[in-house]
Structure 1
Amino acid sequence: MAQHPWWQGAVIYQIYPRSFQDTNGDGIGDLKGIINKLDYIQSLGIDAIWISPFFKSPMKDFGYDISDYRDIDPMFGSLDDFDTLIAQAHQRDIKVIIDQVLSHTSNEHDWFNESRTDKNNNKADWYVWADAEPDGSAPNNWLSIFGGSAWQWEPRRCQYYLHNFLTEQPDLNFHNPEVRQAVLDNVEFWLKRGVDGFRLDAINFCYHDAQLRDNPAKPKELRQGRGFSEDNPYAFQYHHYNNTQPENLAFMQEIRQLLDRYPGAVSLGEISSEDSLKTMAEYTSGGNKLHMGYSFELLTNDYSAAYIRETVTKLEQEMTQGWPCWAFSNHDVERVASRWSLNDTTDPKQAAMLSALLASLRGSICVYQGEELGLGEADVAFDDLQDPYGITFWPTFKGRDGCRTPMPWRNNGEFAGFSTHTPWLPLCQEHAAYSVEQQLAEPDSTLQLFSHFMAWRKTMPTLLFGNIEFIDTQEPILAFYRRYQSERTLCVFNLSDQAQLLRLTLTAPSKHTELRHNVGHYDDGSITLESHGCFIANV
Structure 2
Amino acid sequence: MNNWWKKATVYQVYPRSFKDTNNDGIGDIRGIIEKLDYLEKLGIDLLWITPMYVSPQKDNGYDISDYYQIDPLYGTMADFEELVQEAEKRKIAIMMDMVLNHTSTEHQWFKEARKSRNNPYRDFYFWQDPKPDGTPPNNWKSRFGGTAWKYDEATGQSYLHSFDESQADLNWENEAVRKECGKILAFWAKKGIKGVRLDVVNLLSKTPGLPDDPIVGPTGDGRTHNVDGPKIHQYLHELNQQVFGPMQLVTVGEMSSSTPEECVLYSQEEREELSMIFSFYHMKADYQDNAKWTNEPFSLAKLKQSQSLLQQKMHEGNGWNALFYSNHDQPRALSRFGDDRIYRQESAKMLAITLFGQQGTTYIYQGEEIGMTNAYFSTIEEYRDPESLNAYRELLASGVSDREALIILQLKSRDNARTPMQWDDSKYQGFSAVEPWLVVNNNQISAEKELKDPNSIFYTYQRLIAYRKMFPVFTEGDYRLLDEEHSELFCYERTCNQEKLLVISNFTRKNVAYQLPSDYKTAEILESNYGRKQVEAAFQLKPYESLMIYQK
TM-score by length of 1: 0.91
Q: For residues 214 and 518 of structure 1, what CA distance do their matches in structure 2 show?
A: 56
1:228 is aligned to: none
* Residues 338, 345 of structure 1: 8 Å contact kept: no
Match of 2:376 among 376, 379, 396: 379
Matches for 1:64-83 after TM superposition, within 5 Å: 64-83=62-81
Following the alignment from structure 2 to structure 1, what is the Cα–Cα distance between the partners of residues 464 and 318? 28
Map of 1:254 onto structure 2: 238
Deviation at 1:317, TM superposition (A): 4.5
- The equivalent residue for 2:445 is 434
Inter-partner Cα distance in structure 1 for 2:65 and 2:229:
26
Alignment partner, residue 308 of structure 1:
303
Query: Is the 8 Å Cα contact of residues 324 and 362 (structure 1) preserved in structure 2?
Result: yes
1:297 is displaced (CA, Å) by 2.2
AA partner of residue 501 (structure 2): T
SS of alignment partner, residue 517 of structure 1: coil
- Which of 110, 119, 124 is the aligned partner of 2:117? 119
Deviation, 1:321, is: 2.3
Query: What is the match of residue 227 of structure 1?
Result: none
Q: Offset of 1:239 from its aligned partner?
A: 1.9
Aligned partners of 1:520 and 1:530 also within 8 Å: no
Q: Is the CA contact (8 Å cut-off) linking 1:519 and 1:530 kept in structure 2?
A: no
User: Following the alignment from structure 1 to structure 2, what is the Cα–Cα distance between the partners of residues 95 and 356?
Assistant: 24
Aligned to 1:226: none
1:520 shift after superposition:
7.4
Q: Does 1:467 align with 2:467?
A: no
Kept after mapping to 2: 8 A contact 1:65/1:168: yes
What code does the residue aligned with 1:424 have?
W
CA deviations on 1:163-215 (whole Å, 9 max, x unpaired) are 00000000011110010111111111111111111110000111222212100
SS of the aligned residue for 1:298 comes to helix
Query: Residue 287 of structure 1: CA displacement?
Result: 3.3
CA distances 1:227-275 after superposition (whole Å, capped 9, x unpaired) = xxxxxxxx454621133212111011012113444454111000112x4
Alpha-carbon distance in 2 for matches of 1:112, 1:39: 41
* Partner Cα separation in structure 1 for residue 453 and residue 340 of structure 2: 24
Give structure 1 stretches of 5+ with no counterpart: 224-234
3-state secondary structure, aligned to 2:242: helix
Query: By how many angstroms is 1:519 displaced?
Result: 3.9
Contact 1:19 1:405 in 2 (8 A): yes
Q: Is 1:448 aligned to residue 459 of structure 2?
A: yes
Distance 1:326 1:437 in 2: 26
User: Which has the larger share of helix?
Assistant: 2
Which residue of structure 2 aligns with residue 12 of structure 1? Answer: 10
Distance 1:260 1:137, change over 3 A: closer
Q: Is 2:317 the partner of 1:334?
A: no
Aligned to 1:532: 544
For each residue in 1:446-491, what CA deviation from the matched residue of structure 2 results, as whole angstroms up to 9, or x when unmatched?
A: 2232223323443222123322122234221222222223312222
Q: What does 1:294-373 align with in structure 2 at a 5 Å threshold?
A: 294-302=278-286, 303-319=298-314, 320-342=317-339, 347-373=344-370
Q: Distance in 2 between matches of 1:139 and 1:390?
A: 26
Instruction: Give, as a single letter, the amino acid of the residue that structure 2 aligns with 1:407.
Output: M
Shift of residue 384, structure 1, vs aligned partner? 2.5
Q: Secondary structure at the match of 1:492?
A: strand
- CA distance in 1 between counterparts of 2:328 and 2:532 reads 30
Q: How far apart in 1 are the matches of 2:129 and 2:47?
A: 43
CA distance in 2, matches of 1:512, 1:520: 6
CA contact (8 A) 1:100 1:198 kept: yes
Structure 1 residues 177 and 337, CA, compared in 2 at 3 Å: closer, same or farther? same
1:22 aligns with 2:20: yes
CA distance in 2, matches of 1:57, 1:334: 24
1:386-430, Cα deviation, whole Å (9 max, x unpaired): 11122222252533222201011011x211111111100011111
Residues 296-351 of structure 1, C-alpha deviations (whole Å, 9 max, x = no match): 22323445553333223322454302101121111112101111135866621011
Q: Percent identity?
A: 35
Task: Give the Cα–Cα distance (whole angstroms) in 1 for the partners of residues 520 and 26 of structure 2.
Answer: 54
Q: Residues 213 and 220 of structure 2 are in contact (CA less than 8 Å); yes or no, is this contact kept in structure 1?
A: no
CA distance in 2, matches of 1:160, 1:174: 18
Matches within 5 A, 1:51-450: 51-219=49-217, 223=218, 235-237=219-221, 239-262=223-246, 264-273=248-257, 275-285=258-268, 286-302=270-286, 303-319=298-314, 320-342=317-339, 347-380=344-377, 381-394=379-392, 396=405, 397-398=408-409, 399-411=413-425, 413-430=426-443, 433-450=444-461
Further displaced range: 128-137 or 463-472: 463-472
Cα distance in 1 for partners of 2:259, 2:532 equals: 34
Matched to 2:301, the amino acid is A
Residues 96, 196 of structure 2: 8 Å contact kept: yes
Pair 507,29 (structure 1): closer, same or farther in 2 beyond 3 Å: closer
Alignment partners' CA distance in 2, 1:332 and 1:56? 20
Whether the aligned pair in 2 keeps the contact of 1:499 and 1:530 (CA below 8 Å) is yes
**Cα distance, 1:510 vs structure 2:** 4.2
Shift of 1:82: 0.9
Is the contact between residue 278 and residue 318 of structure 1 (CA under 8 Å) also seen in structure 2?
yes
Maintained 8 Å contact 1:9/1:465: no
1:489 maps to 2:467: no
Counterparts of 1:56 and 1:172, CA distance in 2: 18
Secondary structure of residue in 2 paired with 1:323: coil
Query: Whole-Å Cα distance in 1 between the matches of residues 85 and 340 of structure 2?
Result: 44
Secondary structure in 2 aligned to 1:65?
A: coil
Instruction: Report the residue type matching 1:351 in the other structure.
Output: A
Quote the Cα distance in structure 1 between the aligned partners of 2:338 and 2:64: 35
Q: Is the contact between residue 6 and residue 264 of structure 1 (CA under 8 Å) also seen in structure 2?
A: no
| Match in the other structure for 1:501 | 513
| Letter of the structure 1 residue corresponding to residue 264 of structure 2 | A
CA RMSD of superposed structures (Å): 2.0
38-47 vs 455-464, which moves further: 455-464
Supply the distance in 1 between the matched residues of 2:532 and 2:464 (Cα, whole angstroms).
12
Q: Against the structure 1 CA distance between its residues 376 and 78, is the aligned structure 2 distance closer, same or farther, given a 3 Å change threshold?
A: same
CA contact (8 A) 1:453 1:515 kept: no
Q: Which amino acid aligns with 2:438?
A: L
**Contact 1:56 1:66 survives alignment (8 Å):** yes
Q: Tell me how far apart the structure 2 counterparts of residues 312 and 401 of structure 1 sit (CA, whole Å).
A: 25
Q: Quick check: 1:270–1:294 contact (8 Å CA) kept in 2?
A: yes
